Amino acid sequence: MIETDVAIIGAGPIGLELAVACKRAGLDYLQFDKRQIGQTIFWFPPQTRFFSSPERIALAGVPLQTADQSKATREEYLAYLRALVLQFDLDVRTYERVLAIERDGAGFTIRTQRAGADHAYRARRVVLSTGGTARPRPIGVPGEDLPHVSHYLHDVHTYFRQRLLVVGGKNSAIEAALRAWHAGAEVMLSYRRETFDPGAIKYWLLPEIQSLIQAGHVRGLLGTNVQAIGPERVTLAPTGGGEPFDVPADFVLLMTGYVADMALFRSAGVELVGPQQHPRVDLHTMATNVENLYAIGTAVAGTQQDYGVFIENCHVHVDRVMASLTGQAPPPPPPPNARPEE
């Protein structure tokens, strides 16, 4: 059985930043991810730009440069993550799913699976950095599983001259509606509220979607909920009461958010609290109630309704964990930063 001092579960940005910190400190570590590095970012639609400016999502002191000095795109950030792994020669075992974390004396046995083969490792300390958007949030209506329905925006060429219903009213939904309209789709936008929340939408997207709806280029179905999805039609109902009605749709994008997968936390005995099912952690060290098991990154918030924990305010988690792992005093709290850069 391979043994290590620190096992890092998850290879998103904050998990990779911790791996760099462990390597710099001379700590023996292994890192696992059930998919590729930065998998959540890989799910972003092509050419999506981050809300945060590059210096706020840069990792481990390595500058993030963009070709036009603007906010990074999905593609630029994935390239940055790959370069970070290469620069520090990080030991990341991708496509190796962690099945269980079991207490084993003073440490843990970590059971994994890769390509159908089972493996086992032993670690003195474990850090969970599994993110908060493991899978789409279902809306629970008939027809949600039909083949023309998706929770992810892929290439907008798919929707050229097609009737597309986008469901949702935050960044992912607004961006999907705009990009599909620019690609030549006939776009409808259903949102359960009567108005958009300016604080939940990138400032460069909100004026455009409002203008397109006002001009009738995008059909704004605000104040509606999806009741059922059929092969060619979707039934909507006014949220304030009234008769349901149908709209024609060739494709449906349910941009209604994502949920965290907290299964490893539960199996390891970590206490989860509140409706978001977030782990209870010591904010000085990021330690959970399980001795020598830590949580960092967006996983510390569980399933977020309104995102308040994101890459740029999770860097301090790495500093706190490293102080605990190396027996140092915890770092001072960073200045308040409630939301990404406006």
Please, is 36 exposed, middle or buried when counting C-beta atoms within 10 Å of its C-beta (0-12, 13-18, 19+)?
Answer: middle
Q: What whole-number distance in Å separates Cα of residue 12 and Cα of residue 278? A: 18
Residue 259's beta-bridge partner residues? 135
Would the pLDDT of 342 be above 50? no
Nearest to 38 by CA among 79, 90, 1: 79
Mind listing the pLDDT tens digit for each residue in 302-314?
Answer: 888 777 788 888 8
Under a CB-based contact definition with an 8 Å cutoff, are residues 163 and 186 in contact? Answer: yes
Question: What mean pLDDT, rounded, does the chain reach?
Answer: 92
pLDDT tier at 341 (50, 70, 90 boundaries)? Answer: very low
Mind listing the pLDDT tens digit for each residue in 97-123?
Answer: 999 999 988 899 999 999 999 999 999
Would the pLDDT of 236 be above 70? yes
Residue 191: helix, strand or coil by DSSP? strand
For residues 307-329, give the mean pLDDT. 90
Phi, psi (deg, nearest 5) at residue 252: -130, 130
Q: What is the pLDDT of residue 337?
A: 55
Q: Indicate the Cα dihedral angle 136, 313, 307, 43, nearest 10°.
A: -30
Give me the percent of the chain exceeding a pLDDT of 70.
97
Under a CB-based contact definition with an 8 Å cutoff, are residues 138 and 144 in contact? Answer: yes
**Tokens at 203, concatenated:** 């400032």
Q: Give me the amino acid identity at 176.
A: A
